[in-house]
Amino acid sequence: MSPADFAPLAWNAAREHLDLFGSLGLCLGFAGGMMPRRSLILLTSAACSACFALHFLQLGAQTGTAMCLVSVMQSVVAARWIGPDFRAPWVAPLFVASSLVALCLTLATWNGWPSACAGLGSLLATTARLQGDAQTMRRVFLGASSCWVLHNLLVGSVFGLTCDLLTIAALVIALVRGAAEPAVAARPAAPLPGAA
């Protein structure tokens, strides 16, 4: 058997593990955690959730798919109609209704612990999206991502697990960076050399 004969064998072995939506979701998940502004975090998160909805659909993880679709809607609404100083009056009832839909979908697609983790992750992510402050939103997203780590371990999503671990790392980096910025801004400016 020549080395050229191994290429088709390797491709056949790897082909079912290659997932365009999982790969794209993984990249978007990490990028979302690193985004500097709240609206960019949410819009990138919406794109990530859309990719993972398709990824979970391929895996047959219906609860994960349903929670991701709710996430897309909530992220887009939160990016546009929730801010540090404002929230459209209809947003809270919409989020309550979508959380009830998520609960019903969790129960309708119940698959034990994976469904429980996806449902709790969705609830925490909903809470995060309602936050007007980016740092507070990142903290709550840490809890949501931890629930999704468990879901992805249980359903066997390598892409989802990798994405969540990268997202957690990005959120921690952004939280540390955000905490350091006020301290740097509060320091008095050093006098210029030669200035009296």
The number of distinct structural domains making up the chain is 1
Residue 14 falls inside a structural domain: no
> For the chain, what is the mean pLDDT?
86
The predicted pLDDT at position 60 comes to 86
**10 located within any domain:** no
In a domain? residue 148: yes
In a domain, 4, yes or no: no
**190 falls in which pLDDT band (50, 70, 90)?**
low
Q: For position 10, what pLDDT does the model report? A: 59
Q: Determine, yes or no, domain membership for 177.
A: yes
Give the gyration radius of the chain's Cα atoms.
20
How far apart (Å, rounded) are the C-alpha atoms in residues 173 and 51? 24
Closest CA to 68 of 170, 163, 175: 163
Q: How far is CA 121 from CA 13, 71, 117, 144, 191, in A?
A: 32, 10, 6, 4, 49
pLDDT digits (tens, 9 = 90+) for 58-112: 888 888 888 899 999 999 999 999 988 889 999 999 999 999 998 998 899 899 9
Quick one: CA torsion of 38, 41, 43, 46, rounded to 10 degrees? -130
Domain hosting 39: range is: 21-182
Please name which of 171, 157, 153, 147 lies closest in space to residue 51, comparing C-alpha atoms: 157
| H or E element in which residue 192 lies | none
Taking the C-alpha atoms of residue 137 and residue 63, their distance in angstroms, rounded to an integer, is 23
In a domain, 98, yes or no: yes
Provide CB contacts within 8 A for 57, sequence distance 6+.
Answer: 65
Render pLDDT for 16-59 as a digit per residue (tens, 0 to 9): 655 888 889 889 988 998 899 999 999 999 999 999 999 888 88
pLDDT score recorded for residue 183? 60
